[in-house]
Structure 1
Amino acid sequence: MAFPIHLQTHFCFISSKCLINKNIIDAAHTNSRFCTKCTLIPPKYDPVVVSKQPGNVYYQPTIWDYTFVESLQSNYKGDGYINQIEKLKKEATIMLEKAATPLAQLEMINVIQRLGMKYLFEEEIKEMLVNIYNDKPNGGKIYNLHATALKFMLLRQYGFKVSQDVFTIYMDKNGFKEHLSEDVKGMLSLYEAAHLAFEGESILEVAVIFTKTKLAEGINNDVELRNQITRSLEIPLHWRMERSEARWYINEYKNAQDMNRVFLELAELNFNTYQATHQEDLRNMSRWWRSLGVASKLNFARDRLVGSFLFSVGISAEAKSQRCTEWLTKVMNFVLIIDDIYDVHGSLEELEIFANVVERWNTKEMEKLPIYMKICFLALYNTTNEMAFEVLKEQGHDILPYLIKSWANFIKAMLVEARWFNKEYTPSVEEYLSNGWLSSSGSVFLVHAFFATKQPITTDVLRALENNHNLLYCSSMIFRLSNDLATSSAELERGDVSSSVHCYMREMSSSEEDARLYISGLIMDTWKKMNESIIDTTFDLPFIHIALNLARTAMFIYQYGDGIGVEDGKSKDHVLSRTLLINKHYFFTIT
């Protein structure tokens, strides 16, 4: 997971304006530009010249002032808001239960999920979907395209076995019937449903191509669905990060003809209280990070606390998973530091020793390490042991061996890439990815997330974690492939071998464009494998959601470039303004 970039700034050198607050800045001297009104005062530029990579590689200092981060406050806290949410939830539950038809229930469930409220109605949704799946008296049968597709999508999301054959009634010998293109709502629902395909499901593969073509052709013909179609053609609903989707859909839902005022008010209040919780968590994480002091001691590595936190929120999604968010933020910060040690700073001999020390997990072994590695290892050692101690106290399970193994596997994979670089060896795509899914660090996140969320620890589940169940593998692979697509151009400029794009270009003698198309196809194929693993798993639904959310968050973070390594420009706006966990001006107004 390589992010090194040339030194950048969040000031526009053309317009002499601050890119964050749009204020005119002091342009008296290029290297001393600052915004006199901006609360996000950058640290002094102290770029680190790294000789391990070809040329000089510079890291951008974090743009976030931690004093500012720790001053974040929200009014959406307290029993008053909790009581209001409970009141609105009861009203919404009654509406769900009194829905006149199965289709009405499905549409309500879909709206609730897209508004970011599925965790408020988890039991109610499960019960309704069981009834619909079993065709109970109030489950009824559903025959139009929109309803069939919506039912298929929601049932598969919740792990029900539904055959793709439900769509054969909409097909003839040439594929899907041409007249279906007149039903824009049905086509959009079919497009979304088809992205829950399993490997080898040819009907759904045809559905994706058919609907994508027809929707693109008629994108301007349906005013009400135009925005949703444009967004879905960019990235399908099943692949979108939940918190970002909720923020976008709340605004979209306000103008819907069938808008439900109770649902909308509950969604806005729920989002704002989530935001308040996340701001409190971020303040705590900022204090922990500054107190740890690793960033100041290892100043060659990226300091990306805010980006790490936003990544963690995307994975954990639920406000009640505060410990999960906290653990994952800590994991991401260590992942970035270790990644920088292996990618741009440590000598191969040092990297070999560090990998051995982590695998043995013994402080006596760290005497062999240089001082900067001692600081990193001891901080990782103490933090990880504290996490294991929490679970041991609460549940009586010693999870430390699983946490250690996840770190050791990640670091050994990083070491493999360092050896490739040292030998100037370019592996085949297959060889690269067999190691790359581990070097993505996805499995480190998922192992920690499982234990952080207090899910039942059974023998079957522990075996699935140890054997890298497809949920872990596929989610981590999407993480790797999304990262590679976002960072491949910069890596190609540096001559870095650690990219599936580069490996494909070398192996197939192809252009970068063709390589990127191939990797995009691998992402689609990996989603199909993961969709099937939702059905065939020993994990509970909360962990399934976490694994899916890791893949979704990775695609979101890297959609417009390196959203963690580069705290600037379009990537920064994409990550921050759309998740809206920082800017107080993005609170919804409850009316």
Structure 2
Amino acid sequence: MPWFLMESSLSSIQALVSQIKQEILSNFNPSLFISPSAYDTAWLALVPCPNSPRSPLFKGCLNWVLKSQKEEGFWGGVGGDGLPAIDSLPATLACLIAIKKWGVGEQNLKKGLAFINSYSEMLFKVKDDKFPRWFAIVFPAMVELALENGLEIVFPKGLEAVLSNISLERQRILQTEELVDNYQFAPLLAYLEALPFSCPVHEEDIERNLSEDGSLFQSPSATARAFLATGNLKCLDYLKTLVAKHPNGVPAMYPIDEELVSLCMVNQVQRLGLAEHFTKEIGEILEQIYRSYKEQEKEATTFNLAITKIYKDSLAFRLLRMHGYNVTSRSFCWFLYHEEIVAHMERNYEYFTSVLYNVYRATDLMFSGEGELEEARLFSRKLLEKSLKLTNINDNVIMFANFQKIIGRSIDHELSIPWIARLDHLDHRMWIEENQVDTLWIAKATFYRISCLQNHKLMQLAVENFEFRQSIYRKELEELNRWSKDLGLSEMGFGREKTTYCYYAVACSTSVPHDSVARLIVAKSAILVTVADDFYDMEGSLEELQTLTQAVQRWDGRGLTGHGKVIFLGLDNLVRGVATKYLHRQGIDITEKLQNMWRETFVSWLMETTWSKSEYIPSMEEYLEIGMTSIAVHAIILPASCFLSTSSPSYELKTSPYETITKLLMVSTRLLNDIQSYEKEIEVGRKNLVMLHQIENSRVGIENSISYVRDILNSKKKELLEHALIDDLGDLSKSFRHFHLSCLRVFQMFFNSSNVFDSATDLLHDIKRAIYMPLEYNISKPLNPLKQYPSQPVEKGSYKIQACVIKAINYKSKRSIIRQQFSISSSLRLGCQKVVTPMKPNFRFI
């Protein structure tokens, strides 16, 4: 991209950032980030005006229903693939009932009924008999109510068994569960609007379970039904407050946990790669969250709110720890000590996939000695793997629908490639391309969604920001290729040519695109290390290597020839360039410090080569002391760390002894290399910690030696993570510490499950996606896969639902139903005849 286009792109990004700060963050309104629930909005639209029963009390809700029908005729959630989610069936029925009640929207009715006929088969296409609890409760009730209100519900032929199973599941639930069961995420009473006549609900049951704000389990739909049944003024006040706060469609739960919305916003901004633009705003939000977090840490949690709290606490833990706050694992692992909660999640894992996903992600930031996090990680991983297996066997399982297809890809990505082995830039790309769905979890009767993506400008900023980075990366890579070629480093004729690999790794491991100097120093240093290391390992004679090492010690290349001369001239060019830049910026000459760092690195390479050629076997301690220097990560990262800030140095260069975090990085990267490279090094006769452990412990197999080294590595990585993240462990700058963490993630990426650094092809696709390939996301033209399912007229093979009434249940409670006040016919009927006496618990077809 030409410079003038890059300037234009940067100006556009800055303008969007300013607009978002002014419109969203300066006067933060959580309601902007809550997706409306068509199901709950329809129930509020059903409430008549007390003084004028022929008019809706909440006209805005009715208008929202009329205006919010999708082109294909449905209301409710849409998955990331553009297809309707399973909650679209009860949501569509509820909206049709509201429209029918008030005698409006004839075209809306026709389109909605056509949708049910045309698309229900696609939504019900299942291969087992298990249906989610919420759907089994709500869907039959909406069919019943639709029939009462004179709607002709027609399902396509072939769904008899599916619908019968739903009815049977509903009957089982009503027979076995208490009205208010402390061991259900949403008790039966929370589905008040969906309970049949046979369910004995007394007015006192409702009033006893109302919250102080007048809601019934924070459910707008259940509270609307409670008001219709009882006329309770607290319920009415709740509904009025709700509509005042959310005039454009009400959410599935209210009141909103504003802290949870704030956390979700920060999470979205980070995952979209935009955190650099909102550092101050994110800091202020997290500071407030931390204060509240500490106050709530000891508060007890009721079972019904436990799942929401786990989601919130795990998200808060990850974000706070990532931003330097010293939070304990107990702050979200508390649920492990509640057997009922753990058992409930194990039984119903498919409903809490996104909660478990966030628990698992929180455990990425595990420090040494945090056994609770280990347990939480194993627990969440086990259930997430079960979720993926179920999805893979049957992508159309009703409980997952389209939501699970999207989050399933994220879960698979999370489980197969650990966070510490992924590069930020590619994660941002995935989140931009995949994040067309914003579901958190399945709420009472719909998907509960919190999203920043409802703001079009935020998504536009994410796309422009990613593309701007790509343009910077392409420009810098061209510059780096010229440098490497001009010095002869890319054309040595032996070893590995890794110019692109080296640049890709450093550029994509950090989300800040403007530290060009630091990025190029790391890339150049890594290129030089790769070439020199290969020369010492495979090309140079012992005499040539001794001559080169001596030249580096005196920093004088006279007398060098061939490859040794090229390497020394490249090294001198790099050191002089870095020292000159630092002298220009800070007025301090660091040439000697840079040279000393490289001197010890070359000595370590010569030592390892001497061991190999003389067949000397060092002890593991002796090897590791040399090996943590020969990996050369300190020579790669420390000079660049001086240039992380454009205004002042973030780190004053020092040589051995190094900072604790640097030493942890040196040993961790050495161990990562050794675990994946021992077979290659056996072939060339070089030493390796895995091999040395087996030599010193001759009775153990190679797998035991690998496990031994991996255990040391895991311990060192946890220590490094703690030093990198927690602010109060020292006086090193956050940018310096995070730069170390980024470097660890690069090495983890290279040596995660194999040695991809040595592969000529393994990273090529990722490099293309990171630097060259345009995003596969179109803001202005979202995908609409429903186009492939055109609405069809009702065929002769279709059937009508004549009745869907559940057999009377003998409840454990002996309280009688409120026949007049609680009856659907008394408040919602549209003049049709009352449902006939209860019949067998299934659907009848014509």
Which of the five TM-score ranges fits, normalised by the shorter chain? 0.7 to 0.9
How far apart in 2 are the matches of 1:151 and 1:367? Answer: 59
Residue among 543, 549, 566 paired with 1:375? 566
**1:117 and 2:274 aligned:** yes
Instruction: Report the CA distance between 1:384 and its aligned residue.
Output: 0.7
Instruction: Report the CA distance between 1:456 and its aligned residue.
Output: 7.8
Q: Give deviations 1:199-235, integer Å, cap 9, x for gaps.
A: 1122222222222222222323551421222112123
Q: Give deviations 1:467-525, integer Å, cap 9, x for gaps.
A: 32232223333333333344333333x14333333333433344444444444433332
**1:500 and 2:657 aligned:** no
How far apart in 2 are the matches of 1:354 and 1:454? Answer: 34
Q: 2:751 corresponds to which residue? A: 558
Instruction: Report the CA distance between 1:376 and its aligned residue.
Output: 1.5
Q: How does 1:365-514 map to 2 (within 5 A)?
A: 366-367=557-558, 369-454=560-645, 461-462=651-652, 466-492=656-682, 494-509=683-698, 510-514=700-704
Instruction: Report the CA distance between 1:168 and its aligned residue.
Output: 5.1
Quick check: 2:353–2:384 contact (8 Å CA) kept in 1?
Answer: yes
Quick check: 1:85–1:269 contact (8 Å CA) kept in 2?
Answer: yes
**1:82 and 2:10 aligned:** yes
Taking structure 1 as reference, are residues 178 and 480 closer, same or farther at Cα in structure 2, changes over 3 Å only? farther
Taking structure 1 as reference, are residues 528 and 465 closer, same or farther at Cα in structure 2, changes over 3 Å only? farther
**Partner-residue secondary structure (3-state), 2:623:** helix
Which one-letter code corresponds to 2:310 in the other structure?
L
Q: 1:333 corresponds to which residue? A: 527
Instruction: Report the CA distance between 1:141 and its aligned residue.
Output: 10
Instruction: Report the CA distance between 1:368 and its aligned residue.
Output: 5.2
Instruction: Report the CA distance between 1:444 and its aligned residue.
Output: 1.2
Q: Give deviations 1:348-388, integer Å, cap 9, x for gaps.
A: 34323433332332x2xx33544431232122113211210
Quick check: 1:433–1:500 contact (8 Å CA) kept in 2?
Answer: yes
How far apart in 2 are the matches of 1:278 and 1:269? Answer: 14
Q: Give deviations 1:256-314, integer Å, cap 9, x for gaps.
A: 34443333221111110100011111111122222222443x32343322122112213
Q: 1:244 corresponds to which residue? A: 426
Q: 1:38 corresponds to which residue? A: none
Which one-letter code corresponds to 1:85 in the other structure?
I
Residue among 179, 185, 204 paired with 2:354? 185
Which one-letter code corresponds to 1:203 in the other structure?
E
How far apart in 2 are the matches of 1:427 and 1:174? Answer: 51
How far apart in 1 are the matches of 2:500 and 2:673? Answer: 18
Which one-letter code corresponds to 1:416 in the other structure?
M
Which one-letter code corresponds to 1:202 in the other structure?
G
Q: How does 1:174-213 map to 2 (within 5 A)?
A: 177-181=342-346, 182=349, 183-213=352-382
Residue among 296, 307, 324 paired with 1:159? 324
Q: How does 1:269-348 map to 2 (within 5 A)?
A: 269-296=464-491, 298-348=492-542
Taking structure 1 as reference, are residues 452 and 209 closer, same or farther at Cα in structure 2, changes over 3 Å only? same
Quick check: 1:133–1:155 contact (8 Å CA) kept in 2?
Answer: yes
Instruction: Report the CA distance between 1:76 and its aligned residue.
Output: 9.8
How far apart in 2 are the matches of 1:564 and 1:411? Answer: 21
**Runs of at least 5 residues in structure 1 that lack an aligned partner in the other structure:** 1-72
Q: 2:99 corresponds to which residue? A: none
Residue among 334, 342, 349 paired with 1:169? 334
Moved more, 233-242 or 261-270: 233-242
**Partner-residue secondary structure (3-state), 1:564:** helix
Moved more, 308-317 or 532-541: 308-317
Q: How does 1:537-548 map to 2 (within 5 A)?
A: 537-548=730-741
**Partner-residue secondary structure (3-state), 1:567:** coil
Taking structure 1 as reference, are residues 308 and 236 closer, same or farther at Cα in structure 2, changes over 3 Å only? closer
Q: 1:95 corresponds to which residue? A: 24
Moved more, 132-141 or 526-535: 132-141
**Partner-residue secondary structure (3-state), 2:772:** coil
Quick check: 1:484–1:499 contact (8 Å CA) kept in 2?
Answer: yes
Moved more, 168-177 or 320-329: 168-177
Q: 1:31 corresponds to which residue? A: none
Q: Give deviations 1:24-79, integer Å, cap 9, x for gaps.
A: xxxxxxxxxxxxxxxxxxxxxxxxxxxxxxxxxxxxxxxxxxxxxxxxx5799334
How far apart in 1 are the matches of 2:279 and 2:515? Answer: 15
Q: Considering only aligned residues, what root-mean-square deviation do their CA atoms show, in Å?
A: 3.2
Taking structure 1 as reference, are residues 430 and 205 closer, same or farther at Cα in structure 2, changes over 3 Å only? farther
How far apart in 1 are the matches of 2:337 and 2:408? Answer: 28
How far apart in 1 are the matches of 2:535 and 2:354? Answer: 50
**Partner-residue secondary structure (3-state), 2:756:** coil
How far apart in 2 are the matches of 1:112 and 1:373? Answer: 48
Which one-letter code corresponds to 2:328 in the other structure?
S
Taking structure 1 as reference, are residues 434 and 206 closer, same or farther at Cα in structure 2, changes over 3 Å only? farther
Q: 2:261 corresponds to which residue? A: 104
How far apart in 1 are the matches of 2:677 and 2:424? Answer: 24
**Partner-residue secondary structure (3-state), 2:5:** coil
**1:217 and 2:386 aligned:** yes
Residue among 749, 759, 764 paired with 1:572? 764
Which one-letter code corresponds to 1:403 in the other structure?
L
Which one-letter code corresponds to 2:381 in the other structure?
K
Quick check: 1:76–1:273 contact (8 Å CA) kept in 2?
Answer: no
Residue among 393, 414, 417 paired with 1:232? 414
How far apart in 1 are the matches of 2:612 and 2:328? Answer: 46
Q: How does 1:345-360 map to 2 (within 5 A)?
A: 345-360=539-554
Quick check: 2:496–2:531 contact (8 Å CA) kept in 1?
Answer: yes
**Runs of at least 5 residues in structure 2 that lack an aligned partner in the other structure:** 31-257, 302-308, 392-399, 440-450, 781-846
Quick check: 2:690–2:706 contact (8 Å CA) kept in 1?
Answer: yes
Instruction: Report the CA distance between 1:81 and its aligned residue.
Output: 2.2
Taking structure 1 as reference, are residues 235 and 339 closer, same or farther at Cα in structure 2, changes over 3 Å only? same
Q: 2:283 corresponds to which residue? A: 126
How far apart in 1 are the matches of 2:639 and 2:730? Answer: 18
How far apart in 1 are the matches of 2:689 and 2:366? Answer: 24
Quick check: 1:305–1:329 contact (8 Å CA) kept in 2?
Answer: yes
How far apart in 2 are the matches of 1:269 and 1:179? Answer: 43
**Partner-residue secondary structure (3-state), 2:771:** coil
Instruction: Report the CA distance between 1:334 and its aligned residue.
Output: 0.8
Taking structure 1 as reference, are residues 151 and 231 closer, same or farther at Cα in structure 2, changes over 3 Å only? same
Taking structure 1 as reference, are residues 406 and 240 closer, same or farther at Cα in structure 2, changes over 3 Å only? same
Taking structure 1 as reference, are residues 114 and 289 closer, same or farther at Cα in structure 2, changes over 3 Å only? same
Quick check: 1:403–1:447 contact (8 Å CA) kept in 2?
Answer: no
Moved more, 93-102 or 134-143: 134-143
Quick check: 2:651–2:736 contact (8 Å CA) kept in 1?
Answer: no
Taking structure 1 as reference, are residues 291 and 525 closer, same or farther at Cα in structure 2, changes over 3 Å only? same
